[in-house]
Amino acid sequence: MLDDRDRKILSLLQADADMPVTEIAASVALSASACSRRITRLKEEGYIARTLVELDRRKVGLPTTVFVIVRTGSHAADWLEKFHAAVNAVPEIVEVHRLTGNFDYIIKIVLPDVEHYDVVYKQLVSRIELFDMSAYISMETVKQAKGVPTNYA
């Protein structure tokens, strides 16, 4: 069970995983060693799944985001396995979500430019048969959270 200090520690780490333990400790009114033990416990208990580095997409040449809505003609186990393999084989595909409703999947793709979408499209359709694909170019990121709310834990 998490307490308010644990939740605050998780929020601070989500905002900046490189924040020194001494700063985190000061923010939650703990000693550095007590705070360090809490962070270790949060990792051991699985609240902290992993630590990542967020790259500046413009500096690494991937400023463009395209979302693709997919409808499939099949939901058989072998097709699903093949679909999972296909999307995992394309590094520009950074997220895939299975949906309820009229569409089956939404795919988030990061690209150097819009024209490169055709390269990714051809890679994907050469690996898996899809009923329908519609691409939507992101014009602006209005909100991109640096983590998830911690008040539900």
pLDDT tens-digit map of 70-93: 999 888 999 999 999 999 999 999
> What does the alpha-carbon distance between residue 103 and residue 120 come to, in Å, rounded to a whole number?
20
What is the pLDDT at residue 46? 97
- pLDDT value at residue 1: 86
**What's the angle, vertex CA 110, arms to CA 109 and CA 116, rounded to 5?**
90
* Options 3.30.70.2860, 3.30.70.920, 3.40.50.920, 3.40.50.2300; CATH of 64-137: 3.30.70.920
**Residue segments in the chain with a per-residue pLDDT below the cut of 50:** none
What does the pLDDT look like over 28-44, one tens digit per residue? 999 999 999 999 999 99
CATH 1.10.10.10 fits 4-44, yes or no: yes
- Rounded CA-CA distance 3/93 in Å is 37
- Give the residue range(s) of CATH 3.30.70.920 domains in the chain: 64-137
How many Å apart are CA 52 and CA 25, to the nearest integer? 21
Sign of CA dihedral 70, 65, 139, 121: negative
